[in-house]
Structure 1
């Protein structure tokens, strides 16, 4: 079936990123990265922190501390970073991206399937969703352990679409980052960019299908 056939919206499934799309954790991750870097004598710039969005942690480590960083060091650093993120997620106040609960309910009522495609670890994704009371609504997930290549490679979204049994071209990818939008586009999906993390002009340069502030101002409706 072609996306949008006999439907008021032009897609058959939705592929969600997590951080910055479902849960507002941008500042939380920035605090973790800055604390980690400062402890090692490095002060990341705002641009460097922004560039962490959508990127695998191991790639940020190599960008900040050198491409020659040993695999054992990367593994140890990632273990420490994941623990820091889990602690923050478990103890700090968190909030959903505005309108996401209502949008999920509209998708459910319309019978539109959805999946999660994130660079986060499975444990951190579960904790984030649980904090919002959304864990049971996301049984289909593709997290860091299920992919070998990070965004902007389309692997995460190709696997998420396959898990739903829907062609990527019939999906809409919802992203807040430049790398995520490039991954969605490379997968062949339409893309909805949310300006929750990056400035609108930066996201617009990535030529998303749609651009919105958050789920309260979507340019389409899935309600009957």
Structure 2
């Protein structure tokens, strides 16, 4: 394996990393806000990538004003988003199945660790056809503090029976990279927003453009041809 980046297990983020779901969330948020008489720019929505629910709520109130009806916004955006995914499903990010095949061939333990609620994560995986893929799922309800705190990755490592320093984290958001760094996990940044965040790029052990490139890296690291 390449010196400087050693690992024996893999921890996946979900939204933006495995699932191409964030564009759907953002479209629903923008439509819901517009129907309520507010505007949410693409840049504002992108800045929420990887955030947990309470952080998103606070940002919305700061952006739109304290009179902004969060309950109505979430009900409306959730309905709009669900209508979209029932019709279209949720796309899986390019390279995921190739990477999954390699990880299984190498017999590396792996799991999913997400800031989403468990029920939401399970539903999204089902809509994407991945409901039977991950042996373990760690959600924000399983830990005291969500990302960017280290808790989710510490918990995920323990669930895999590994020390966190032996678990490679794959993340697409700066918040996820911050959490992986706080947990002292080796991590690869696969940015879902371009240009990549400069701070996250510095924090990560490696920055790669997609999961196919991650598969190539792991294949070379273990000297295992794809």
Which of these residues, 163, 167, 172, is aligned with residue 168 of structure 2? 172
Query: How far off is 1:164 after superposition?
Result: 0.8
Give the distance between the partners of 2:30 and 2:20, measured in 1 at CA: 18
Q: Which runs of 5+ in 2 are unaligned?
A: none
Q: Deviations over 1:5-60 (max 9, x none)?
A: 9x9x7211111000111111121011122123223332122321111111012211
> Which secondary structure state, in structure 2, belongs to the residue aligned with residue 62 of structure 1?
helix
1:156 alignment partner in structure 2: 152
Q: Does 1:147 align with 2:143?
A: yes
Give the distance between the partners of 2:199 and 2:124, measured in 1 at CA: 25
> Which secondary structure state, in structure 1, belongs to the residue aligned with residue 203 of structure 2?
coil
Aligned residues: 217
1:97 alignment partner in structure 2: 93
Tell whether the 8 Å contact from 2:90 to 2:127 is kept in structure 1 after alignment.
Answer: yes
Query: How far off is 1:140 after superposition?
Result: 0.4
Cα RMSD after superposing both structures = 2.8
Q: Does 1:32 align with 2:25?
A: no
Report the CA distance shift for 1:84/1:136 in structure 2 as closer, same or farther (over 3 A): same
Give the distance between the partners of 1:40 and 1:148, measured in 2 at CA: 33
Give the distance between the partners of 1:39 and 1:148, measured in 2 at CA: 35
Give the distance between the partners of 1:85 and 1:143, measured in 2 at CA: 20
Give the distance between the partners of 2:88 and 2:115, measured in 1 at CA: 21
> Which secondary structure state, in structure 2, belongs to the residue aligned with residue 37 of structure 1?
helix
Query: How far off is 1:131 after superposition?
Result: 3.0
Tell whether the 8 Å contact from 1:90 to 1:127 is kept in structure 2 after alignment.
Answer: no
2:123 alignment partner in structure 1: 127
TM-score normalised to structure 2 length: 0.83
Query: How far off is 1:177 after superposition?
Result: 0.4
Matched ranges for 1:1-224 at <5 A: 10-66=6-62, 78=74, 81-200=77-196, 202=198, 205-218=201-214, 219-221=217-219, 222=222, 223=224
Report the CA distance shift for 1:46/1:76 in structure 2 as closer, same or farther (over 3 A): closer
Give the distance between the partners of 1:37 and 1:65, measured in 2 at CA: 12
Tell whether the 8 Å contact from 1:177 to 1:198 is kept in structure 2 after alignment.
Answer: no
Report the CA distance shift for 1:45/1:79 in structure 2 as closer, same or farther (over 3 A): closer
Report the CA distance shift for 1:154/1:210 in structure 2 as closer, same or farther (over 3 A): same
